[in-house]
Structures are given as structure tokens and as C-alpha cells.
Structure 1
Amino acid sequence: MACRLLLAVVLLWLPLAAPAAGFTELGRLAERGFLIGAEARLLDSGEVLGSLAPQRQLSPASVSKLYLAAAALDRWGPQHRFTTRLVSDAELDAEGRLHGDLVFEGSGDPGLATEDLWRLAQRLHQRGVREVNGRLVISQWRFGPVACLTTDRCEGRERVANTYSALLSAAGINHGNWCVNVAPGREAQAPARVTHCDGQASLVTVDNQVITLAAGGATALDAERVTRDGEDVMVLRGTIAGDAAPRDVYRTSGDPAEQTARTLAAMLDQVGIAVQGIHATTIEPPSASADTLAAVEGRPLQALLLDTLHYSNNFMADMLTLGLADTPRPTLLDGAEAIEHFVAGIPDHGPLDLRSGSGLTPESRTSARGVNALLASLFHRPSLFPAFVGSLQTPSNGVMRFLRRGSPVFQNRVMLKTGTLNQPVAVRAVGGYFRTRTGRWGVFSALVNGTATTPWLNWTQVLDPLTEDIERMIETN
């Protein structure tokens, strides 16, 4: 009787133990106190190849961008383009004078750049406009300024030393970043030469403290954008070798709409269109009677998503998130709710709590099983899947060099998105597809979260064991 009872217990245990064995290497992190949720399954049969607490709710960090990309493709389709316009309800006379305000209507295009403003200015010139007797008005009526939800973005309103926490506005350009170019001075000990990346005009005040060294010296640049008396200032410190190549330096702006106003005004001036009034920003929409004087279409959504996911661009992700919201002047929470509504229609996903599309918000929660359900649902949508999977990286040729590890099996048979957070706890997350040796498609995800008592976690500690586990699944299926 005792033997039969033991056999029954073993048989009951085996179906649970076998899938868990699929992540034997990654699972060792649990012994150090990290919280792990992981799952891998084949898409044709649904067979689970590995499973570790797959329904555990954890922070996905930038793996959240997979949800944003899927919801955006579902809403707009791969070929959707955002259209940005210059409009006015003022009269344009025969001499090319516009007797009133010229309004830039922000479309929420996350890829809008200086080149697009140049094309707008050129098209306005082609329309016959030579002078604006009113103001240049930047309208961010769709959304912006957007309330900050993370420490980095809130602090970035006054000072910032990074490029990833850009503030958000429907009228934002250049991923919400200023750019200046730093080149060596003409002789040692001379100040470096600093110019603006987006034209000849002085678009942002520069506090240049960079000193030129002799040829062969060490180049070490430090940059911070601070806001002084309502004006953005790029503070540059450090040294640059006399024979160093010029370097572009980016820092987020303190007011994206104001950044657009300054840049567009410079573009208008360069094409010979004089603006008599001072520029202004507004949250009001243009007049219903306003005529379109110039317009530019952005890149198709599938191209925007490639940049958003390849470079894990937080500005682009959250701009798209805001665009998905159906409420007037939405917050990031409104956009996240729209993504959650889309995910609610995915079978077997389970709970999802997003606070943004970028993943910068550490409070967001999902599960490894949920990520896999999302990936599986896109796989079965032929009209959307090519654009979706094309936005993921293959380790062997992706832009994130830290992914280039493991054998050629992992390097060339996996397409993935990663997520990283360091505060308030360490998060390393991965989700994506794989192809087995026999050509079968699979999905996998692994969410690793630290706690207040766990040690520091780096990507090597997660990717090295994960690649071993995934390689084994690929080779044996």
C-alpha cells in the first residue's frame, strides 16, 4: 500500500516537474532570492517546454513595449502615418504676407524630427508665404504638457543628465532632446567649439566649460541640461583631444513644445519666411475654419515600431501610448488603460496592470504566461505579425551588443525584446520568439525581479543561464 501511495504521488508530481526542468539554469537565481516568472512553449502544439511560476505578477520593464506595439498595430495598422500641419485662418495676400498667426498642429508623431520641420517650412514657402505678421503658435492640444509619473521625468523638468526620460508633448520633436556638437578648439587649452546640430541659429543656450587638450589627450565629456529662469541651458564640462572627431551630445529638453517652436522658427528663417510676432505654445486646438498651408506625413507605424523596440525608445513608446487613449488630453494612465482594454481580448492572458507603454513605470505588472499569450496572439495575425516580429532583435545582428552571447543557435534562432530597470529594485526581463532545429515556432518569456534584500543583478547573470536553457529547447525540438 505504501509503495502504491508513493507511486501515485510521484506520478502526480512528474507533469509539474518536467516543465520546470526547462529552466534549470535560470532557476538558480531563485536560490539567491530573486523572483522569477518564466515560460517557453511551442506554438503549433501548445506544448510547454519550460515553466517557472509563469503566472507570477512581476515588473516587465521595457518588455511593456511589446504590449504597446501590439495595441498600436491593432488600432492603426502597419502603414499608418501621422500627419503634422501648419494651419491658419488668416488671410494670405498677393505679396505672400499672412495677416495673422501661423499654427503648428502637433500630431503626436513620435518620430517627428528637424528634417520634417524643414520640409514643412519648404512647403510653406512653396505655398507662397513670405511673411507672417502674427505669431508662430505651437499647438499641443492633443496632449501635453503630460504629467510625469516617474522620478526621472519629474526631475527632468528642472535638470537632466540623460536622454531616455524625455518629457512628452503631441508637438515634440527629436525624441524630446536638444543636440549640440562638440569639436576641439584650434589649440590646446582653448575652449571647445560648440555648434547646434539642427541649424545655424542658437536654439538652446550653451554653458561651455570643455577644454581642448593636445593631440592624443583624453576625451571625457559630461553634459547636463538645466533650466534657469525658464530657459534651457546645456552645461558642457570636461576635455576633448585636439585630434578628436566632433561629437554630438544629446540631453532632454525641459519643454518639448518650446523646443519645437525654437527649431521651427529657425527653419522658417532659413527658407526666407519672416515671423513678426513672438512664438507661443498653447493647449488649444486650431480654429475649425483654419486652412492647411503645409503638411508632412511621418514614417509608417511599422518603421516607428522598429525604432521604438530596437532602441527601447521611451519617448516614442509613450507618445504612441498617449495616442491610443480615447479621452481628451490623456495621461499615460489613460493610454495604458487603452492597451489593457486591447489585451483583455487575448485568450488566457490573465491579469495585466500597465502604467505606461514604455516600461519606465516600475509599478506595471504582468506575467510570463501573459507575455507569451500576447506573442502567440500576434503570431496568428498574418496581416500584423511581419511588422511586429520585424521590430524585435536577433542577437547576432541587433543594435544591443550585450545580447551577442551564447552559441550560434541562440544568436540566430531567437527574436526578442529586453527590459531593464534598476530602481527601486533590479529588473531584467525578456520576451520573444524562437525557431527550433526542425523549424517549429515557439514563444518564451522570463521576468526576473530583485527585492529590497537581493544583491545587484546584471544582464550577464540572467542571459547566460537563459541562453543555455533556450538553446537546449531549440536543439531538442
Structure 2
Amino acid sequence: MSRRSMPFWSYIALSAAMAVLSLTAMASPSRAAGLDHLAELSSQGYRISAEARLLGTGDQQGEVLGSITPDLMLTPASVTKVYTAAASLDAWGPQYRFTTELKSAARPSTDGTLNSDLILEGGGDPSLVSEDLWRLTQRLYQTGVRRVTGNLVVSQALFGPVNCRTTDRCDALERSDNAYSALLTSAGVNYGSWCVQVAPGAVGGPARVTSCNSHEPLFGVDNHVTTGAASSTSGFGAVRVVEDGQERLVLRGSIASNALPQEVYRASGDPARQTAATLKSMLELVGIDIEGTVSVTSDPAPGGATRLAAVDGKPLQEILLRMLNYSNNYMADMLALDLVEAPQAQLDDAGAALEAFVAGVPGHGPVVLESGSGLTVGNRTSAQGVNALNEYMFQRSDLFPLYLAGLQTPTNGPMRFIRRGSSTFQSHVMLKTGTLNQPVAVRAVTGYFRTSSNRWGVFTVMVNGTSSTPYISWSRVLDLVSLDLDRMIANH
């Protein structure tokens, strides 16, 4: 029986049996050799899969330096993104670019009139932003188009709308207080999120709220942020809601009169319509009138439609830097969906594409991937498996530098919470972390280390909480990992 056809109760029973076996294995001191500090968490009830080992080079053989149930399959959270990065590099190479097109079934007349619909066909670009749409509209203007008598249509035929698989994303259809739960479409822009800038106004009066990507906000704004005295406390909340089919951002709080402007990002309830509104605004600014309506479709452009203008996105290597360094869920799931060859892909299809890639990684073993971001708690892998992936990419001399560049050295990491541990850990390790807090805590980390003799090693640590241990701080996990890796680095 396949994993996807297994009854839910059978899957739970199997997981319970695996948990019993894993706890038995954790009790063996020899399994924790080399990871003595991390092993403290096992006795506290946390489920752990961990392994650190040297990589073989030339006539030197690789050596396992420490492990704790390395084959135990646990939730990796955003460590999943290293799978997405590796599969993307393998499929397309670092210089690949996604293309977004404007098409029409007609050509502009000599007076600049386009007597047909203008269709934006989304190319699944995870990094498409307003600047790219501006270049696209400028290129359309350069073809001579000044007026469109038809409709403006945004086509998400490649994939979209993508069904939500997590609570946060399902909630975002109606309400969102974050940007990490952005919904998915092949025709998305600005990472599927709206952005406003909040700046102080006159003391005692309302703050000034402007759009980050257009002259005026393209959605309703309820501004309840007041301007306080200089050096007063600044703090405000923002919730994007949908009412009567229209999106609206509700802001409440205060901002000091001498505070710098602050940008606020909130996931859009319909990212394809967000793209349509943004594009229409830019067409108007550049001097192209749209006389028809604005709509979104999941159908492709008509067979007779031809390209009027196009824009290529950033190279894949730049996309991966942003996706990994900032653990961008939207970009990761977009890339995973792009790996699917059939149109109208869903996250299950993206997971299957990632699993197909992993099947070709030597020594990996079983894996369950339901998304490319790791937001889905059903993702399962082992420390041994992730290390096999890291070793595989290490051996890919054509791709390894780009893969490694997406990882963070703690001392220079954009995520402040990883700037912990000794100077050895901070400078001899490159890593990717993963975090989930519901239904239980997940703290996962993977990457490479360099020993004092310049040997390369790989390590993966996944700590999953249980109902009796639902939370653990990142500082606790990283401090223990740092102590164990410090010793390995110094001793080799």
C-alpha cells in the first residue's frame, strides 16, 4: 500500500510503533556518542533524529562522529527547503529564469489600439515583484499600445489557485495577520503579500499610510494608528480581512513622531487578483487605458494569442539565496510547484516531484514530502537522509557552491536567533534551520562544518516535541548542538 493511499488510522498506528522503537534506541548511550549534550533532550521526552559525520575525500573515508536514532523519521519544518533547493538546481541549473508574458489575440493598430483582451500569463516566477511588472508594462508601451478595448485578464493556468493545506493558509483566504502564510498561484507578485508603509503624521493625529508598490493603496485601509510624542512607544497591529469580496487592511496602534517609517506585509486573500490590480495600476501610470473589466482565469491564453511583451525574472541562484536565507515559504512552495510538469499542479503533486528527485539520492532512504516549504506537518525525513542529500550536493561540483551559498554562517546570518554558540561554531558551520510551533515544537537544523584540519562534515539535528513536551527554545537546542560540534571540529 502506498503512503498516499494508506488509511489515516494505519498511518497513526505505524507512527506510534516507530515512536516506541525510537525511544528504545534513544536509551542506548552508544547511539549518542559524540552528541552527548544533545542527548540530554532524549531523557526529557523529546524525539530526536541526529547525525554528524565527516565526508570522505580522496583516500580518506567518511566517519560517523555522533548519532541519535539517525534513521528516525521526524518533521523537518523548513529544513525541507534544502530539498527544494537541491531539486531545483538539479532540474534547471543556477542561471535558469522564469518568464512572465503579456499576450493577445490581436496586434496593436497604427493608432495604438489593441482590439482584444490583454492577457498576463503567469510563468510561476517565485520572485516576481512590482519592479518586474513595471518593466513589463514599459515594454508593452514600447510596442505602441496605448489603449485596450478588451479586458485585462490574469491567467494562472500553470497552477492556481492552489488549495490550502495548512491552517494558516486556509485562514488567509479570509483573514491574515502575517506574510508567511501567503497563498500560491503561478501569476503571483510581491510574494503573494500586500505591503503598506506606516509613517508618523502630526502629533495627536493619524499616522500616514501609503502603499509600497503603487501611488495609492489598491485595497481598503482602516487606519487607526495615532502619532505619539517624540520617543514615545511605537507599536501597532495589522490584520488583512475580506469583506463582501473586497480586501481591507485594518491597522491599530501608535507610532512616535520621530520614528522611522515601517513597512507592513500581510498575505493577500487572492494573489492572482492582487497581481491584476497591481498590473492595471501600472498600465494606467505608463499611459495605457484598459476599457474592459479586470478578471482572473485558470485557463491558458487562447491558441491564437501571441506574445506582446515579456520579462525574465531573477536567475535561480538569486532566488535560492533569498528563499533559503529568509526561509521564504511562498518562494519554496512556488519552486516545488514549478517542478511539476503537468498543468494545474497542487501541493501533493509538488511533493511527489520532490520525492522523485530524492529517489535518485544515494543512501537517502524513505521520505514523505507534502510541500516544498515545510509548513505541512506531514513532511517526514531522517537525519541520515538529509545528510545523504547534503553529501550528494557536496559531490556535485557544478552545483555545490550555489547550494552552499544559500546556507547561513551563524556569525553573519540574517536570522539573529542563530548568532549563538562559540566562535568556533559561529565561523566553522553553515546551516539551515526549520521551526514549527504547532501542534508541537519542531526545531531542526542541517548543514556543513569544517574541522580544524579543514575536513568537511555534514550534520542534521531534528528535535520534535510531544504532547507532554510541546515547546523548546531555539537557544536551548543551538547551545547543545554548538557544544557537540565544537568538540568534533577541534578533534578532527
Normalised to the residue count of structure 1, the TM-score between the two structures is 0.95
Indicate whether 1:220 and 2:235 are aligned: yes
Residue from 8, 26, 29 that aligns with 2:41: 29
Match of 1:161 in 2: 177
Match of 2:353 in 1: 338
Greater Cα offset, 250-259 or 407-416? 407-416
CA distance in 2, matches of 1:202, 1:163: 17
Match of 1:451 in 2: 466
Amino acid at match of 2:43: E
DSSP 3-state at the match of 2:412: coil
Indicate whether 1:38 and 2:50 are aligned: yes
Quick check: 1:220–1:240 contact (8 Å CA) kept in 2?
yes
Match of 2:370 in 1: 355
Indicate whether 1:204 and 2:219 are aligned: yes
CA distance in 2, matches of 1:303, 1:202: 29
Identity among equivalent positions (%) equals 57
Q: Deviations over 1:143-199 (max 9, x none)?
A: 11100000000011000101100000000011111011111122x221111111112
Quick check: 1:82–1:297 contact (8 Å CA) kept in 2?
yes
Residue from 270, 274, 279 that aligns with 2:289: 274
Amino acid at match of 1:41: R
Match of 1:131 in 2: 147
Match of 2:385 in 1: 370
Match of 1:7 in 2: none
CA distance in 1, matches of 2:477, 2:449: 18
Q: Write the mapping of 1:186-205 to structure 2, written as runs, cut at 5 A.
A: 186=202, 188-205=203-220
Quick check: 1:201–1:266 contact (8 Å CA) kept in 2?
no
CA distance in 1, matches of 2:459, 2:201: 52
Residue from 116, 119, 142 that aligns with 2:158: 142
CA distance in 2, matches of 1:91, 1:220: 52
CA distance in 2, matches of 1:244, 1:364: 42
CA distance in 1, matches of 2:449, 2:272: 42
Amino acid at match of 2:120: F
Quick check: 2:106–2:114 contact (8 Å CA) kept in 1?
yes
Quick check: 2:197–2:261 contact (8 Å CA) kept in 1?
yes
Amino acid at match of 1:28: E
DSSP 3-state at the match of 1:29: helix
Q: Write the mapping of 1:14-413 to structure 2, written as runs, cut at 5 A.
A: 20-44=32-56, 45-186=61-202, 188-413=203-428
Long gaps (5+) in structure 1: 1-12
Measure how far apart 1:19 and its partner are.
Answer: 5.9
Q: Deviations over 1:373-421 (max 9, x none)?
A: 0000000011111110111111111101111111111111111100000
CA distance in 1, matches of 2:186, 2:454: 43
CA distance in 1, matches of 2:42, 2:143: 65
* Number of matched pairs: 462
DSSP 3-state at the match of 1:338: helix
Long gaps (5+) in structure 2: 1-24
Q: Deviations over 1:46-82 (max 9, x none)?
A: 2000010000010000000011111111111111100
CA distance in 1, matches of 2:114, 2:419: 56
DSSP 3-state at the match of 1:223: strand
Normalised to the residue count of structure 2, the TM-score between the two structures is 0.92
DSSP 3-state at the match of 2:231: coil
Q: Deviations over 1:301-345 (max 9, x none)?
A: 111011001000000000001111123211111011001011011
Quick check: 1:99–1:134 contact (8 Å CA) kept in 2?
yes
CA distance in 1, matches of 2:166, 2:400: 32
Amino acid at match of 1:391: G
CA distance in 1, matches of 2:158, 2:44: 47
Amino acid at match of 1:303: E
Quick check: 1:88–1:103 contact (8 Å CA) kept in 2?
yes
Amino acid at match of 1:375: N
Quick check: 1:88–1:293 contact (8 Å CA) kept in 2?
yes
Q: Deviations over 1:115-159 (max 9, x none)?
A: 000000111111111111111100000011100000000011000
CA distance in 2, matches of 1:74, 1:201: 42
